[in-house]
A and B are shown apart, each in its own frame.
Chain A
Amino acid sequence: ETGVTQTPRHLVMGMTNKKSLKCEQHLGHNAMYWYKQSAKKPLELMFVYSLEERVENNSVPSRFSPECPNSSHLFLHLHTLQPEDSALYLCASSQDLKNTEAFFGQGTRLTVV
């Protein structure tokens, strides 16, 4: 248990569905991240939030829409996804964006059918 909780752990959705992934941390961290991990590929940074402000969008398609309502919660809203978007989506948080380590949640295993 790292203090970062993601729900749901598994999600199957159709290409026309809309769903949201949720991430929650109670570590008092100010930075939160979304990563995508596909089979046989490196962790890909998607979005970075610092103090609830998006500071990085790593060329992610608009069918992925992040939301950070407060420093403890981060969402990833999904709509009209493609089968190639099937992956493990990992949320992480860190105290700041400088020299502190990131703590990861257990991830949401997403399958798009």
Chain B
Amino acid sequence: GQNIDQPTEMTATEGAIVQINCTYQTSGFNGLFWYQQHAGEAPTFLSYNVLDGLEEKGRFSSFLSRSKGYSYLLLKELQMKDSASYLCAPRGYNKLIFGAGTRLAVHP
């Protein structure tokens, strides 16, 4: 079966760094995705990890440990527009399953 756990809400200050953690269990594993979803909009792709380690992409980085079933998304130099939900999505066999998402509120 699938089980994905991430914090429900987080708050942070503009310009700061925030780390959003995700733990998962999945049958079959073909990598893990992070998506961003603003209220009322469709999810948009942020990052993908299939091997252990850190993938850096501008202000956003994502880390994966397959043996621990653990990933995190790191957001640096936070901006107000980063206020959104961040969805952890491990890809299993024939499936892309999403966690409930972490609602991040960035304030001045």
For window 14-60 of chain B, which residues contact chain A by CB distance below 8 Å? 30-31, 33, 41-45, 48, 50
Within 8 A of B (CB), among A88-113: 90, 92, 94, 97-99, 101-107
List residues of chain B with CB within 8 A of the CB of A48. 94-95
Determine if A2 and B99 form an interchain contact, defined as CB atoms under 8 angstroms apart.
no
Chain A, range 59-113, C-beta contacts under 8 Å to B: 90, 92, 94, 97-99, 101-107
On chain B, the residues within 8 Å of A106 by CB distance are: 41-42
Q: Is the CB of B31 within 8 A of A97?
A: no
Contacts A99-B30, A99-B31, A99-B50 given; indicate if A43 touches B98 (C-beta within 8 A). yes
Assuming the contacts A43-B87, A99-B31, asked whether A94 and B43 have C-beta atoms less than 8 A apart, the reply is no
Chain A residues whose CB sits within 8 angstroms of the CB of B4 once the complex forms: 42
Q: Which residues of A contact B (CB under 8 A)?
A: 2, 33, 35, 41-43, 45, 48, 50, 55-56, 90, 92, 94, 97-99, 101-107
Contacts beyond the supplied A99-B30, A106-B41: 17 A-B pairs with Cβ under 8 Å: A2-B42, A35-B98, A42-B98, A43-B87, A43-B98, A45-B96, A48-B94, A50-B94, A55-B94, A56-B94, A90-B43, A99-B48, A102-B45, A102-B96, A103-B45, A106-B42, A107-B42
